[in-house]
Amino acid sequence: MTTIELSKNALTVLEKRYLLRDENNKVIETPEDMFDRVASFIATTDEEKEEFLELMTSLRFLPNSPTLMNAGTALGNLSACFVLPIEDDMTSIFEAVKYAALIQQSGGGTGFSFTKLRPKNDVVKTTGGVASGPISFIEVFNSTTNTIRQGGRRRGANMGILRVDHPDIMEFITCKEDQTRFTNFKFSVALTESFMKSVEKNEDFDLINPRNNKAVGKMNAKEVFNKIVEMAWKNGEPGIVFIDRINQDNPTPELGEIESTNPCGELPMLAWESCNLGSINLLQHISKRKIDWDLLEKSVRAAVRFLDNVIEKNNYILPKIEEMTKANRKIGLGIMGFADMLIKLRIRYDSEEGLLAASKVMDFVQKTARDESSNLGKERGNFPNFNKSIYREKIEHLRNATVTSIAPTGTISLIAGCSSGIEPYYALAYTRNVLDGKKLLEVNPIFEQELKNLKLHTEDLLEKVSSSNTIQGLDDIPEELREIYVTSHDINPEWHIKMQAAFQKYNDNATSKTINFASTATKEDIAIAYMFAYTQGCKGITVYRDGSRKYQVLTTKKAEPADPKTLTIISEKVEPRPRPEVTEGKTHKIRSGCGNLYVTVNRDETGVCEVFVQVGKSGGCIASQSEAVGRLISLALRSGIKLESIADHLAGIRCPSPNFYQGQTVLSCPDGIAHVLEKYLDGETIFRANGTIACPDCGSMLEFAEGCFTCRSCGYSKCD
């Protein structure tokens, strides 16, 4: 078998998450073996097997992660995305909890609409009590996800959606202001056409109790819209979906309305539906600075057949999911490597030429995929609900109710060695902290090769690139490169939205994309973007303002000049100020892998001045080391060291027994102490390079794109 050329990071990801292991946790297959396993299982003939194997080993196409992980194994779930219904009764709610746990254990992500749940304090006739409302039940789902490790390889992800006319909508909009809550959920508000018109007219709209579909009050639409904007400005959530627009493209409206999407929003689905995804790597379809359309057609047709086969080969977790999935046979073929493709074609991302390239390539993919689905319809039969679909009077044959969807491709794009999804480059170079305080410079391989070709490749230049969000101001780099190598923050949000809309026009489902904003962006900027996305025909939008979350895990910012008042002259000995006679504080309990960790934080008139640490009832080395850590923290604090610096240095230290506690990853006792200290930072933002908060697996930095944090070192992602 031909050896596949894979990057070091790709091999790391495969060994850590994809390749099979024996009972002793030893890797027992190579990447070539993995692709052979998948192709053998998915194919129906020897000819198909060879075609599918070549398709994957050439890295022209990869299926979603569950297919790579589970094809040909006992687990057998090959789908990434599911939507489960939640009705307004306890049986339905807790059945959904159980089903979500089973799905996430097998490697899938789940979407829910909580709109049908009666609002808080509404009457419950069966008990004579009052309802606790949808937010309280979302807590139950979130806690369940905390306990589930997906197939032993990744943690679960959820989408929670609430219609804007639900009486509890304001609580839903603001409940993630505390970023330690609902850490396993992404939230989106389902906006209706009537609501958007009310926003434009600054009118009130009705709040509807889902128990009886009666109006129970009114709110001003502009005020609700502004609150969504405010929260998105603060930390990127909630996102929004235009639910009526989604249902306009519902291929089977006779079966019901679409109420929710998968965790990243690119797959609106009916209750009980699942969908399997795959992505074409555009980078592998460029030859001599041109798109190889013949090769692209070959790849798309093979990929459609591959994904259709997955529907038959899938091991469905629930009979209802199997029935609904096979009745509609939805597949979601998308793309990755778009930014790479533009670079190879010498096209700037934020340009009319870039939009034209997006439209042209996605139009081709959609038409080819639909044509191949039509061929399969003739060969294998139409999807069973075809006569209940919007296609029945337009065409004669169609195997799949949907054929295209643009998903995040966090880890599979890393395996394929290309840029993720349709996103621009996030950074061309950045520094990653590794063991023992060493730093590793990561550089975009295409950009690095261009520098080598121009004989400009030096460590000094790469350090300059790494220290900035952009190369636009670097005169050391030729203008011809600065013109095309634009990164996320070089691009005006308007162009991000235009690009999303260009792809959405030729997409059966929806388009996953993050609209990046600079840290200086205003709430008005976010509001304008939301309205622009609405007018441009997007089905939803996710925004992210740089630095707005508590943990900015990947930063390429140039460090701000230090305040001379905070500097200590090295040649002088630092004398800590005396401990005050009286301090006031609190003791925090947090669970670590070593047991319960008790951290007491005391203040005096100048702020936090000392920390005491105890681990359960431990003695010996653990007790002495914990006491030593507390003493050293206290000494540092009274010597003028900033609390955020101490917390930042403790965060990310790993031990062999990490733990999850109240939605947080506690990697070790020092990391747990950092979690506590961060509560005392008075809202200050920590810019980290180690990414440990968001990457529980390897402690490396994460890249925020397409609505989720993804580790480009180990492949961790909640929404791949």
Beta-carbon contacts of 618 under 8 Å, excluding residues fewer than 6 positions away, are: 594, 595, 626
**3-state SS string over 545-584?**
ECCCCCEECCCCCCCCCCCHHHCCCCCCCCCCCCCCCCCE
**3-state SS string over 262-316?**
CCCCCCEECCCCEEEEEEEEHHHHEECCEECHHHHHHHHHHHHHHHHHHHHHCCC
DSSP one-letter string for 481-498: HHHH--BGGGS-HHHHHH
Query: What is the spatial distance between Cα 95 and Cα 52, in angstroms, rounded to a whole number?
Result: 38
Q: Which two tokens stand for residue 221?
A: 């639409």
Query: What is the spatial distance between Cα 125 and Cα 27, in angstroms, rounded to a whole number?
Result: 56
Residues β-bridged to residue 218: 206
Beta-carbon contacts of 480 under 8 Å, excluding residues fewer than 6 positions away, are: none
SS3 content of the chain, % helix, strand, coil (to 5): 40, 20, 40
Q: Kindly tell me the sign of the dihedral angle through the C-alpha atoms of 264, 269, 270, 276.
A: negative
Residues β-bridged to residue 69: none
| Cβ–Cβ under 8 Å, residues 274 and 79 | yes
Beta-carbon contacts of 64 under 8 Å, excluding residues fewer than 6 positions away, are: 78, 79, 80, 276, 277, 278, 407, 412, 720
Query: What is the spatial distance between Cα 629 and Cα 649, in angstroms, rounded to a whole number?
Result: 12
Catalytic residue, from 264, 538, 594, 609: name it: 264
Residues β-bridged to residue 588: 599
At 2, which amino acid appears?
A: T
56 CB neighbour count, 10 Å cutoff? 27
**Helices 46-57 & 31-42, crossing angle to 10 degrees?**
140
**Helices 221-235 & 523-536, crossing angle to 10 degrees?**
110
Catalytic residue, from 51, 237, 266, 703: name it: 266
| Cβ–Cβ under 8 Å, residues 515 and 496 | yes
453 labelled catalytic: no
Report residue 269: phi and psi, to 5°.
-140, 155
At 94, which amino acid appears?
A: F
Q: Which two tokens stand for residue 315?
A: 């091991």
At 302, which amino acid appears?
A: A
Query: What is the spatial distance between Cα 332 and Cα 278, in angstroms, rounded to a whole number?
Result: 7
262 labelled catalytic: yes
Catalytic residue, from 142, 184, 262, 507: name it: 262
Known catalytic residues are 262, 264, 266
